[in-house]
Amino acid sequence: MNYKRTFIAVLAASIVAFMGTSCASVYYDVLYQNVYDGNQFDKYVGKDKNLILRELGAPDRTMDDGRDGEVLVYEKTTTTTTTNTVTKSSASGYSESAAVGVYTKSGVAAGVGASGYDAQAQSKTNTTQNTTTNKTFVNFFVNGNGSCYDFKANYGAKYRTEKVDECFCNARNWTVSLLIVPLWPITIPAAAINQAIAKKRGWKFCNKK
């Protein structure tokens, strides 16, 4: 076997594999975050009270808004109960003579081991319950003309995903290039090329790994 040719072939394959996965865009990160995008009840503001009644039904109760109008109160209370059961077991028993027989506490005959000891498992079960209550509400403020001018709610929020930042992770670019020492002649120049490409494209640099 020609070890020199084998080594060259392996090295060449490594170069191809590395160059196939190593490029500047691999280390370019786009960061997103969820941004508040209004509430599902926004559509009722400025609308007639009758629209709310048609779509949501009659309110659970009404209140005076202090402006010659009213507040339509929709609320729901949900109670959730979780049960946790823990069983602990222990052994207890009696030592008796085989001539007179061996019995458990309940009086039922049982077998005797070599030591003449009969063990009967005892168990104790503890059950605990945890109850949580969740209340949701939405209040629509309706003026004297029957038009909704505001609302308050503790649910119904909507969010959209928005790009907030993007950068070239140069620290990760160089960290990866230094992982395999035998490939340094390849990986270090590749990292330098990636960095140069990022600068040429005007990418912002970030140092996170």
- Closest by CA position to 83, among listed 131, 133, 129: 129
Q: Which residue has the tokens 């009086």?
A: 107
Sign of the CA dihedral 21, 23, 26, 27?
positive
Give me the pLDDT at residue 8, please.
Answer: 60
Cβ proximity of 163 and 30 under 8 Å: yes
CA distance to 2, 17, 44, 178, 188, per residue, from 192 (Å): 34, 18, 57, 12, 6
Pairing of strands 148-153, 117-142: antiparallel
Task: Give per-10-residue mean pLDDT for the chain (209 aa).
Answer: 62 52 72 93 97 97 95 95 79 45 42 48 78 94 97 96 89 88 89 90 78
Give me the pLDDT at residue 120, please.
Answer: 55
The three-class DSSP label of residue 122 is strand
Rounded Cα distance between 85 and 125, Å, is 7
Rounded Cα distance between 156 and 138, Å, is 9
Pairing of strands 205-206, 157-169: parallel
Cβ proximity of 60 and 135 under 8 Å: no
